[in-house]
Structure 1
Amino acid sequence: MAETFTLDPAHTAVLSMDCQAGIVSIYTREGKDAFLARAATVLNHARAAGITIIHIQVGFRPGLPEVSSRNALFGAIKSSEQHQKLFLEPHATIPALIGPQDDEIVITKHRISAFPGTDLTMILRAKDIDTLVLFGIATSGVVLSTLIEASDADYRLAVIGDCCADLDSALHDCLIQRFFPTRGSVVSSEGFIAASLKTDKQS
């Protein structure tokens, strides 16, 4: 993982994506506590550096009226009461350790990427954000989809590799090691923290 990464807090946003209780439990399994600890440390250092934090969560109205039967993934969720429970309380809640603080923005999405049907683009434009630091679950889901869309919109990008998780470890490794570096930087949580500390010293 590349550790050389610099950022300008005034123009950077960290996107914590789909890190909801039920999803975290399923995707991180035995590593849940360590995952949450890493993510919490990243968010705390981002706050200390004055970096914008945006929490992205996936959610639906009762009955999932936002979901089309033509959508293979979400259509399957809509037809399964068990899967729908992932998006209801308490499973849909962002764990307190990594939850939003103060006036941090929370965006609810209805598709894989953080962009379609949300006001994310408007918020980023209003805040003059040109750099996005991404992490979340799943690596092959929200992280991949959001990265591709953000890349096409000309954002400078970084993914915090050890704050991502996927049920398919081989696919996770392929994305982190081979694909994501073609769209931006891939850093560890320690690499991001080091970059955020450098901004503290410069301010």
Structure 2
Amino acid sequence: MTDASRADTALLLMDLQPGILANYADADYLPRIRRALAAARHAGLPVIWVRVAFRDGYPEVSADNAIFAGIRGSGRRLESTEAAGIHPDLAVQPQDVIVTKRRIGAFAGSDLDVVLRGGNIRHLVLAGVSTSGVVLSTVRLAADLDYRLTVLADGCMDGDAEVHRVLTEKVFPRQATVRTIDDWIGHVAA
């Protein structure tokens, strides 16, 4: 990756929160994310964290929202809780940006587009949980907004391995470059 192509690239890490990651059993996942994070930092790429969280009382959650209506009143995913923060093993740095979203996709109910435009970011390198949730929603909208996209296949995780495979091997390649973290690290270090 040349310096010119690095200037408009950011690593976007999505929904890597303790309350979400607790639902997945892949002991190698966080170490892989830490490798991608270290490579991005070494290359001088901005790191943007996206988390899903809600205000006390869940004013953003409609009773008609099939995915989030069930958490109303549960205390889960409240922005004031530790479970809604970024996983502590990932060591957010002061220069990183944390974006809070109120829906599945990284752009929905957040100021992500403003942050990206403010930083002249046009290329997003995506990783997150889940592949069929935040990653899929973000790929679709980001492609429609004309962002260049790279999806780190092993930087994404889903509760359904077959859905993950179909998305990373058949769906995402239509709108994004799909790489493994190690392949991307070799590319960004070049």
1:86-105, aligned counterparts within 5 Å?
Answer: 86-87=77-78, 89-105=81-97
Residue in 2 aligned with 1:10?
7
Residue in 1 aligned with 2:16?
19
Q: Distance in 2 between matches of 1:63 and 1:99?
A: 29
Aligned-pair CA distance for 1:60? 0.6
Aligned-pair CA distance for 1:86? 4.5
1:32-51, aligned counterparts within 5 Å?
Answer: 33-51=27-45
Query: More helix by proportion, 1 or 2?
Result: 1
Whether the 8 Å contact between 2:153 and 2:178 is mirrored in structure 1 is: yes
Whether the 8 Å contact between 2:52 and 2:77 is mirrored in structure 1 is: no
Whether the 8 Å contact between 1:63 and 1:78 is mirrored in structure 2 is: yes
One-letter amino acid of the counterpart of residue 89, structure 2: L
Q: Distance in 1 between matches of 2:48 and 2:91?
A: 10
Q: Distance in 2 between matches of 1:172 and 1:39?
A: 17
1:56-75, aligned counterparts within 5 Å?
Answer: 56-75=50-69
Equivalent residue in structure 1 for 2:111, among 116, 119, 144: 119
Whether the 8 Å contact between 1:139 and 1:164 is mirrored in structure 2 is: yes
State the TM-score, normalized to the length of structure 1: 0.87
Whether the 8 Å contact between 2:130 and 2:158 is mirrored in structure 1 is: yes
Aligned-pair CA distance for 1:54? 0.2
Q: Distance in 2 between matches of 1:110 and 1:169?
A: 26
SS of 1:73 mapped into structure 2: coil
Q: Deviations over 1:145-170 (max 9, x none)?
A: 00000000011101001011111111
Q: Distance in 1 between matches of 2:77 and 2:161?
A: 22
| Greater relative CO (CA pairs within 8 A, separation 6+) | 1
Whether the 8 Å contact between 1:9 and 1:52 is mirrored in structure 2 is: no
Aligned-pair CA distance for 1:143? 0.3
Identity %: 40
Q: Distance in 1 between matches of 2:57 and 2:161?
A: 32
Q: How many residues align?
A: 187
1:135 matches 2:127? yes
State the TM-score, normalized to the length of structure 2: 0.93
Q: Deviations over 1:70-112 (max 9, x none)?
A: 1110112226x2xx43546332232222232122100111000
